[in-house]
Amino acid sequence: MRHQVTRFAPLLMRSVFKKIFPEVSKQLHYWKTKADAIPNIELREQALASISSKKFHCQGGSVYSVLAEARWKDAIQFIVAYQTISDYLDNLCDRSTSLDPKDFRMLHQSMEDALSPDAAVKNYYQFREDQNDGGYLNALVQTCQEALRSIPSYEMIQSYCLRLEQLYSDLQVHKHVKKEDRIPRLENWFQNFKEKWPSLSWYEFSASSGSTLGIFCMIGYAMGGKMNVSLAENIFESYFPFMQGLHILLDYYIDQQEDLEEDDLNFCNYYRDETHLKERLLFFIKQTNKSVQLLPHKHFHEMVHNGLVGLYLADPKVKDLQNGKQITRMLLQASGIRSTFFHINIKLYNRLKGKTQEA
């Protein structure tokens, strides 16, 4: 990998397929081996399921390793470990018999500790029946902490990372409690932020809180030695809410059928109708592009935005959605030619990868 931040989509895709994705696979194989050894059956099953079904979360997040330049492998190590915590806890909360907010809060304490290099690891399972993970979650937390201790400028970004983590954890707690309490809790939570982001609904604010991209962006820059307080603030304001919101709304968009079958909360269901959904996705695309213009390497951030649209709409689940093809065409067109470029390349990569696995 050339140790500079490219502004050209073909060069970025080459780095992604030749360098980044193979390193992500290597890191995930390491964590899969650890997950295989978890003594508790339920915890083991959820850890393995989160790795096998959500690999693309780590792949997408690891694009930010480009910002770390020469330390790109160190950035991937952090991103994969942190995203694996996120995906594992999401599985534990989604598929758990527990509906206790105290349990969910304690589980997500691990994500705060992972961003706090001096924090001691804890028994994050203390409020649930399943306990023994053989040190799996603690090892993920400590891997993140070790990576952050190697960043001299980490104190410049820690408070911003923790603000994003707090929003993420609050969301996870509120949306996993018993069904009748979820929407009231999320609506009440949004009242604290409505004045600052009046253009958002409660469900769009919730979606914007559910992404880890802002954290990965800051870590990438910090590992590349390019961080200062002003940049940290600009990244926070540029990524939250619109880049992160676009990310999670696309994720929810492609999962609509799956969430319906699993009876899971899906924020796309709260739009008035399909027309309203399309209007708001287009609004997020426009605002995302606008919000990253003041960042250094703005072409990179524009490509991430384009890549999100291309990546999610390349998912095979889209073909099962009502008017999925038409909405895909509209969103790709609105995002520009690079989104179509990423979309075609990712579909081709997935197809070739599928054939290789069959062989």
Please report, for residues 62, 74, 83, the alpha-carbon distance to residue 144 in angstroms, rounded to integers and kept in the order given: 14, 10, 10
Residue 124 pLDDT exceeds 60: yes
Q: What is the pLDDT of residue 358?
A: 47
Nearest Cα to Cα of residue 171 among 181, 160, 185: 185
- Type of residue numbered 110: S
Q: What is the pLDDT of residue 357?
A: 52
Q: What is the pLDDT of residue 252?
A: 94
Q: What is the pLDDT of residue 7?
A: 65
Q: What is the pLDDT of residue 4?
A: 61
Cα first-last separation, the chain: 29
Reported for 50-58, long-range contacts at CB under 8 A and 24+ positions apart, including other chains, are: 50/84, 50/87, 50/88, 50/90, 50/91, 51/84, 51/87, 54/87, 54/90, 55/24, 55/25, 55/28, 56/311, 57/83, 57/86, 57/87, 58/24, 58/27, 58/28, 58/83, 58/84, 58/87
Residue 8 pLDDT exceeds 80: no
Q: State pLDDT tens for residues 223-239.
A: 999 999 999 999 999 99
Residue 47 pLDDT exceeds 50: yes
| Mean pLDDT on 27-41 | 98
On average, the pLDDT of the chain sits at: 92
Residue 199: Cβ within 10 Å count: 10
Where is 291: in which H helix or E strand? helix 274-291
| Mean pLDDT on 38-63 | 94
Residue 3 pLDDT exceeds 60: no
Q: Is the peptide bond before 101 cis (omega within 30 degrees of 0)?
A: no
| Mean pLDDT on 335-342 | 88
| Mean pLDDT on 44-66 | 93
Nearest Cα to Cα of residue 317 among 241, 270, 262: 262
Residue 65 pLDDT exceeds 50: yes
Residue 183: Cβ within 10 Å count: 16
Residue 1 pLDDT exceeds 70: no
Q: Report which of residues 89 and 15 the model is more confident about.
A: 89
Q: What is the pLDDT of residue 354?
A: 66
133 CA to centre of own chain: 24
Q: Report which of residues 110 and 319 the model is more confident about.
A: 110
Q: What is the pLDDT of residue 167?
A: 98
- Type of residue numbered 212: T
Banded pLDDT at 258 (limits 50, 70, 90): confident
Nearest Cα to Cα of residue 165 among 221, 227, 96, 89: 89
Q: Please state, for a pLDDT cut of 70, what percent of the chain lies above it.
A: 96
Nearest Cα to Cα of residue 307 among 337, 338, 281: 338
Contacts of 265 (CB under 8 A, 6+ apart): 175, 182, 259
Nearest Cα to Cα of residue 243 among 197, 200, 195, 286: 286
> Comparing 98-107, 175-184, 350-359, which segment has the lowest mean pLDDT?
350-359
